Amino acid sequence: MPETASAQTIKTFCRLCEVNCGLEATVDEAQQMIALRPDKSHPVSEGFACHKGLLALEVHRDPDRLNAPIRRAKTEGSQGDFQPADWDEAIGDIAQRLKALIEEHGPESVAMYIGNPSAFNALGAVAAGIFAQALGIKRFFFAGTQDCTNKFAISEILYGSAEIHPIADLDHSDYILMMGTNPRISKMSFLSTPDPVGALRAARDRGATVRFVNPLVIDDLSDVGDTLQIRPDTDAYFLAALLCEIEATCGFDEEGLKDIGNGSSVGHVDRLRDFVRAYPADRVAGIVGLSAETIREVARGFSSASSASIHISTGVNMGQQGALAYWLTQMLCLVTGNLDRRGGNIVAARAFPGLPMAEEPALEETKWGSFRPSRGATPPGSLIADMMGDDEKPIRALLVMAGNPLLSIGGEDKMREAFANLDLLVSIDFYRNATAELADWVLPAADWFEREDLNFFVQGVQRKPYLQWTDRVVAPTHERKEDWWILSRIQQEMGLPSLFDLPGDDALMTLWNGRLEDNGYSIPALREAEGGVVLIPDTPTGQFLSHVAEAKGASTELSRVGGAGGVDSSDGDGEAGPRGGFDRCPDAMLATLERAGEIFDRLESEAENQLKLITRRTHHMLNSAFQNMKVLKTEAGSRKNPLYMNPADAASRDLQAGQRVRIRNDHGEVVAELALDPHLREGVVAMSHGFGNGRTPGMPVAQAHPGVNVNRLSPSGAGSFDPVSGMEHLTGIAVEVLAS
Ligand code: SF4
């Protein structure tokens, strides 16, 4: 659409992924947003943006968006149809029903689920926590247990805060190991950099070795580095074998471990040694599907490089042992002297302190197994339906914010039934999505361009640290409301304290200014800054471990170098040192190490031709979002959700491209069209998740191209999650593929 002379350009930033690219929006005289383009003057993203980010404009003005509250007019024996309602009616009814449930059945009867977009909603994310606290909600599910709580858990255990994640120093590293990541499609997670492929190419150009570890060869990155085609969900054993080889050949960096500053040393060296010695390259080679010599060669390359770094992402996180793998990455950096050193994994500067963990939490015991509640409270999402059927304390009401658990977690059928039987299901979303289709109330959320925001989630993981604020580009259209407002209004209506009780009417100031001020930043200063951006000075390397060792709670000085929170490493055996030392393998890890042995035994007994299903990321999907974008439904892959298979596997099963196949296991069965892909390792099949909108009339484009929900093949309930992190098992799933 042509821009007129009176059109206005407003700087903002993308909130679809962790890159947070700078954008420029054009708003016309009628206050309609009419264009969106990359911001070439952005000091960090410098004009980089991808097609998904620019398509956010089409989501903003999609005619299928939900623009007013709707409620299901349920009658005896019938789910009824959705009817429009006004906000007062919606808030009043929801508040009254929540209040009655809590009075009769206690706060355990109410649960909340927040989806991935909440990580890019500075007001909504905090308001959700306040809402849960006000109502006494303990069963607070979030999409992190589908893709990243392994990292939160390990950072809490090692560094005392879920928000500390040493990132690969792409600009200075001589050896870069990238595991389970597809920087072309997904960019990177927990390593925020514009144009990640460009960053890796630049590393290659200055002579760095870049190696990918992935069951799928990312073909158009072969000029950047080779891919070691590992068997899915065996990354932890690969990492253990690297450590085993390093210890056996050149030894750990003993001097560095003895003195990490201020007289502190690293505890539990022997636990790590004992663990990795059980996984020499010769033993794990058959399990990981890489030769022992290849493993040794990587170990030599990593340990002998003048600097080396590692990045693991969702392909590792979503397996059975993502937490173990993340712990081993920290250990790999530590024992090779690459933790907190230039070219290794560094602790990026941040604009506000990472929240410290008060103390190691007790395991939550449930009838489906115990789990360590990361970030204070999060049960595995794969228990959501089971907890609704809990005969002692069932969940009776669920409030979903920016999420679609029905398609994002294993066990769709069980969830469908459980959701339909709830006393109250509320969805706050842009669309009447698959989960919302079962709701009593669906409330229309304002989108990225209709709210003020802050790039809070990526603090501490940015290659070039900066803080960015954006004003709303346009006011919320129709009856859309911001998530924080919706939650606060429900609280208010229930007679509970809410954000509306706090002085002033500036929610961003109220919720964020205090945290920013700890590091010398502020919301008023950000609002005045050019483009809303303030660059954060880099912090010196070499101080992180001593800061962690010293810390006994958040301190401003510590938070400037990225650390916050103490580590209680005292354990009575004299090895870990006094409270405040840095413990390499705290007690919280012990059950995980034992579990690794059990899983290894199971893998050893698997049939040689066992197929493993992995999640495939694509240019036309963003988890379960973007499914209603017609413009993205142009390729077969975006319309049908095929099953990808290596041609050799298809030939050995007498299967042809284009034919219908059944993919099945103990958890479920789906039927899809077969597509061949020689870039997949033999023995590995792949599908994208987020499809399965056959019963989602509120998203007609998605419904016209429903595909199938691959998470039907993922486990739910007992045995479906990693106890140390609550991570659900969503990739590397054993399946059988048959002609349909
Ligand atoms: S790379 Fe991520 S942040 Fe940048 S435009 Fe694309 S989706 Fe948005």
The last residue of a domain, from among 572, 597, 622: 597
> Buried b / exposed e across 390-424, counting CB within 10 Å, b at 16+?
beeebbbbbbbbbbbbbbbbbbbebbbebbeebbb
Same domain, yes or no, for 415 and 519? no
Of 12, 13, 14, 621, best ligand 1 pocket probe by most atoms within 8 Å of the beta carbon: 14
Residue nearest to atom 8 of ligand 1 (CA): 53
Cα 116 to averaged position of ligand 1 atoms, centre (Å) = 14
Handedness of CA 584, 586, 592, 596 (dihedral sign): positive
Once rounded to an integer, what is the mean pLDDT over residues 210-232?
94
pLDDT 10s digits, 465-486: 999 999 999 999 999 999 999 9
pLDDT 10s digits, 683-710: 999 999 889 999 999 999 999 999 999 9
Whichever domain contains 523, its CATH number is 2.20.25.90
Q: Supply the pTM of this predicted model.
A: 0.94
For residue 583, being part of any structural domain is answered with no
Q: Ligand 1, closest atom to CA 622?
A: 7
Which pairs from 289-298 meet CB under 8 Å and 24+ separation?
289/229, 289/230, 289/231, 289/234, 289/681, 289/683, 290/228, 290/229, 290/230, 290/238, 294/228, 295/238, 295/241, 295/242, 295/245, 296/245, 298/177, 298/211, 298/228, 298/242
Once rounded to an integer, what is the mean pLDDT over residues 164-188?
94
Whichever domain contains 97, its CATH number is 3.40.50.740
CA 495 – CA 547 distance, rounded (Å) = 43
Handedness of CA 133, 135, 138, 142 (dihedral sign): negative
CB–CB of 714/733 below 8 Å?
yes
CB–CB of 582/260 below 8 Å?
yes
Same domain, yes or no, for 336 and 209? yes
Q: Is residue 14 within 6 Å of ligand 1 at its C-beta?
A: yes
pLDDT 10s digits, 655-692: 999 999 999 999 999 999 999 999 999 999 999 988 99
Cα 270 to averaged position of ligand 1 atoms, centre (Å) = 43
Q: Ligand 1, closest atom to CA 51?
A: 6
pLDDT at 264: 55
Same domain, yes or no, for 368 and 342? no
Cα 617 to averaged position of ligand 1 atoms, centre (Å) = 14
Once rounded to an integer, what is the mean pLDDT over residues 574-591?
59
Once rounded to an integer, what is the mean pLDDT over residues 227-232?
98
pLDDT at 626: 85
Backbone angles phi, psi at 676, to 5 degrees: -100, 145
pLDDT at 582: 63
pLDDT at 640: 82
For residue 303, being part of any structural domain is answered with yes
Same domain, yes or no, for 616 and 674? yes
Q: Ligand 1, closest atom to CA 56?
A: 8
Q: Which of 64-78, 90-104, 513-527, 646-660 has the lowest mean pLDDT?
A: 64-78
- How many helices (H) and strands (E) in the chain? 25, 27
Same domain, yes or no, for 218 and 346? yes
**Range(s) of the domain holding residue 12:** 8-65+469-478+495-535
Write the secondary structure of 286-305 as one string of H (helix), E (strand) and C (coil): HHHCCCHHHHHHHHHHHHHC
For residue 50, being part of any structural domain is answered with yes
Once rounded to an integer, what is the mean pLDDT over residues 602-611?
95
Q: Residue 541: which pLDDT band, with cuts at 50, 70 and 90?
A: confident
pLDDT 10s digits, 337-348: 999 999 999 999
The last residue of a domain, from among 597, 626, 650: 597
Cα 467 to averaged position of ligand 1 atoms, centre (Å) = 16
Once rounded to an integer, what is the mean pLDDT over residues 548-577?
35
pLDDT at 586: 76
Asked whether the predicted pLDDT for residue 630 surpasses 50, the reply is yes
Once rounded to an integer, what is the mean pLDDT over residues 57-77?
91
Same domain, yes or no, for 132 and 176? no
Q: How far is CA 543 from CA 224, 354, 464, in A?
A: 32, 16, 19
DSSP 8-class letter at 383:
G
For residue 571, being part of any structural domain is answered with no
Q: Is residue 19 within 6 Å of ligand 1 at its C-beta?
A: yes
Q: Residue 619: which pLDDT band, with cuts at 50, 70 and 90?
A: confident
For residue 556, being part of any structural domain is answered with no
Q: Please give the structure tokens belonging to residue 168.
A: 């690969």
For residue 252, being part of any structural domain is answered with yes
Q: Residue 539: which pLDDT band, with cuts at 50, 70 and 90?
A: confident
CA 451 – CA 472 distance, rounded (Å) = 4
* Count of structural domains within the chain: 4
Same domain, yes or no, for 256 and 137? no
Same domain, yes or no, for 221 and 341? yes
Same domain, yes or no, for 239 and 340? yes
Q: Ligand 1, closest atom to CA 54?
A: 5
Q: Ligand 1, closest atom to CA 23?
A: 5
Of 15, 17, 54, 462, best ligand 1 pocket probe by most atoms within 8 Å of the beta carbon: 17
- Please, what is the average pLDDT of the chain? 90
For residue 119, being part of any structural domain is answered with yes
Same domain, yes or no, for 265 and 131? no
For residue 546, being part of any structural domain is answered with no
Residues pairing with 671 in the sheet: 662
Q: Is residue 187 within 6 Å of ligand 1 at its C-beta?
A: yes
Asked whether the predicted pLDDT for residue 275 surpasses 70, the reply is yes
Residue nearest to atom 2 of ligand 1 (CA): 17
Asked whether the predicted pLDDT for residue 4 surpasses 70, the reply is no
Same domain, yes or no, for 424 and 513? no
Q: Residue 218: which pLDDT band, with cuts at 50, 70 and 90?
A: confident
Q: How far is CA 505 from CA 129, 450, 532, 677, in A?
A: 19, 17, 20, 55
Cα 333 to averaged position of ligand 1 atoms, centre (Å) = 29
Q: Is residue 735 within 6 Å of ligand 1 at its C-beta?
A: no
CB–CB of 187/400 below 8 Å?
no
Whichever domain contains 713, its CATH number is 2.40.40.20
Same domain, yes or no, for 189 and 256? yes
